[in-house]
Structure 1
Amino acid sequence: MPLLKTITLNDFTKVFVWKITESFEELFRSVALKDISLARLEGMKSESHQNGFLSVRKLLAEAGYSDFDLYYDAYGKPHLEDGKHISISHSHGFSVIVISNVNIGADLEIIKEKTLKLAPRYMDVSHLENLSESDQLTKATVVWGIKESVFKIKNEIGISFKDDIFESEFNLSDKKCSVELRFNTSERFNIIFDFIENYVFVCAFSSAPIGFASDENKQ
């Protein structure tokens, strides 16, 4: 399937979404990989993981880049050669990349029961009070995505999702909130989130208030 959707978050940030319907062979034949990426692909045991990896390279092409423009630092954080910021996430049948002029972190999570069961390990469960079971599941997934997104920006060993990252109270209809990270020092982040089929998409910004500017569906 071609690019499913692009979302313009603001003047300097764009999201690219791919729905993975292709086989490994179809994806592999359609991208060019540098040697280090090929070795990494060959080391993946799961075809789902391989397809996510390759579909991210398809998204890079949609954004005007290639695998040769992408590199990872010693902590595993992705970077683009031209200095723009990039965050990558893939989950089961979807892949997402976010490209911005400012530091961002993005996460894509499928809504599943296990996330709610694990909620006491990573969040203040009082934030789930007075919600239906369905909304509890969705909100717990959003909160997990929020904490993953903030962690992707900071990328520091030792950060605790439950003890160091604190989201403000929010409603699912808000599609935004703020977060405070208390780890060595205190930092605040702006969060936006949305839903793509049965997935939650979250993006964290280290600065500048944002919101959805436009949504361009491409079938």
Structure 2
Amino acid sequence: MPLYKTITPNSQTTVKIWKITESFDDLMHGLDLKPESLSRVSGMKSEMHQRGFLSVRHLLRAFGYSDSDLFYDKNGKPHLKDGKQISITHSFQFSAVIVSDGIIGIDIEKQREKIQVIAHKFIDYEYNYLEEHTEDYINKLTVIWCVKESLYKLFATPGLSFKQHCLMIPASDDVNETVAWIDYNDKKHRYHVQFLEFEGFTCAYAMA
């Protein structure tokens, strides 16, 4: 079982990361998928997405849950039947699940140069903290994206803008945590964020 990493940010929260090395058939083996999940994975055109979907179900098992314990609301936010909070992400060969008593969100992204092309769409004042053409510029952009995506997932509110409503204080070098806010409808919501980098990927998770 390629459970890549387990992180416990606090006593109520656990993150599990999976490295997807198995074939589709190997990932299907041993899973008990509910009919709608089976239909969903069968309809995916990309095997990469299929394997990501199935790896998340294996992560659920690692937490002691089954596919039937997971459901989604009208905004696409995942929930667990026992009332615990959950957030899910996958990117290429990695997937991750975070489970907590408190509100949380998680995102994994591959560090790619093309993020520079869309940076203006999700970065505003954070540009003041960035220096282009530095060796770690792509990594820092990816951290900001992951943080804002994790905020978006935990807030799960239509109309929320990465650029206008999601704000973060970029972390200093060699620091893997920071503070972020959602400023929406004249209310500010503050979150603690941690992040890590591994094998050309970035993972960030936000916690209330």
CA contact (8 A) 1:116 1:141 kept: no
TM-score for both structures, normalised by structure 1: 0.90
Which residue of the partner structure matches residue 119 of structure 1?
Answer: 119
| C-alpha distance in 1 between matches for 2:68 and 2:179 | 35
Which residue of the partner structure matches residue 215 of structure 1?
Answer: none
- SS of aligned partner of 1:134: coil
How much has 1:171 moved relative to structure 2? 1.6
Percent identity (aligned): 44
Task: Output the amino acid matched with 1:170.
Answer: A
Selected match of 1:205 from 187, 204, 207: 207
How much has 1:112 moved relative to structure 2? 0.5
The answer as to 2:66 corresponding to 1:55 is no
TM-score for both structures, normalised by structure 2: 0.94
How much has 1:197 moved relative to structure 2? 1.7
How much has 1:134 moved relative to structure 2? 2.7
How much has 1:63 moved relative to structure 2? 0.9
Could you report, residue by residue, the CA deviation over 1:159-200 in whole angstroms, capped at 9, with x for unpaired residues? Answer: 111111111142242111111211112211111111122111
Which residue of the partner structure matches residue 69 of structure 2?
Answer: 69
CA contact (8 A) 2:147 2:206 kept: yes
Selected match of 1:190 from 182, 189, 192: 192
Could you report, residue by residue, the CA deviation over 1:7-45 in whole angstroms, capped at 9, with x for unpaired residues? Answer: 111111111111001111111123110011111112211
Could you report, residue by residue, the CA deviation over 1:45-95 in whole angstroms, capped at 9, with x for unpaired residues? Answer: 111000000000011111111101111111111111111111100000011
Could you list the structure 1 runs, at least 4 aligned residues long, displaced by more than 6 angstroms after superposition: none
| C-alpha distance in 1 between matches for 2:199 and 2:100 | 24
- SS of aligned partner of 2:90: strand
How much has 1:132 moved relative to structure 2? 5.2
Which residue of the partner structure matches residue 154 of structure 1?
Answer: 155
| C-alpha distance in 2 between matches for 1:138 and 1:176 | 14
| C-alpha distance in 2 between matches for 1:34 and 1:112 | 35
| C-alpha distance in 1 between matches for 2:173 and 2:90 | 22
| Paired residue total | 205
Stretches of structure 2 lacking an aligned partner (at least 5 in a row): none
| C-alpha distance in 1 between matches for 2:36 and 2:170 | 43
Q: Which moved more, 1:65-74 or 1:120-129?
A: 120-129
- SS of aligned partner of 1:31: coil
Which residue of the partner structure matches residue 109 of structure 2?
Answer: 109
CA contact (8 A) 1:192 1:204 kept: yes
CA contact (8 A) 2:75 2:158 kept: no
Task: Output the amino acid matched with 1:73.
Answer: D
Which residue of the partner structure matches residue 145 of structure 2?
Answer: 144
How much has 1:117 moved relative to structure 2? 2.5
CA contact (8 A) 1:3 1:18 kept: yes
How much has 1:127 moved relative to structure 2? 2.2
Which residue of the partner structure matches residue 19 of structure 2?
Answer: 19
- SS of aligned partner of 1:9: strand
Which residue of the partner structure matches residue 209 of structure 1?
Answer: none
Stretches of structure 1 lacking an aligned partner (at least 5 in a row): 207-219
Could you report, residue by residue, the CA deviation over 1:99-143 in whole angstroms, capped at 9, with x for unpaired residues? Answer: 1110100000110001122211111323212x6533110000000
Which residue of the partner structure matches residue 168 of structure 1?
Answer: 169
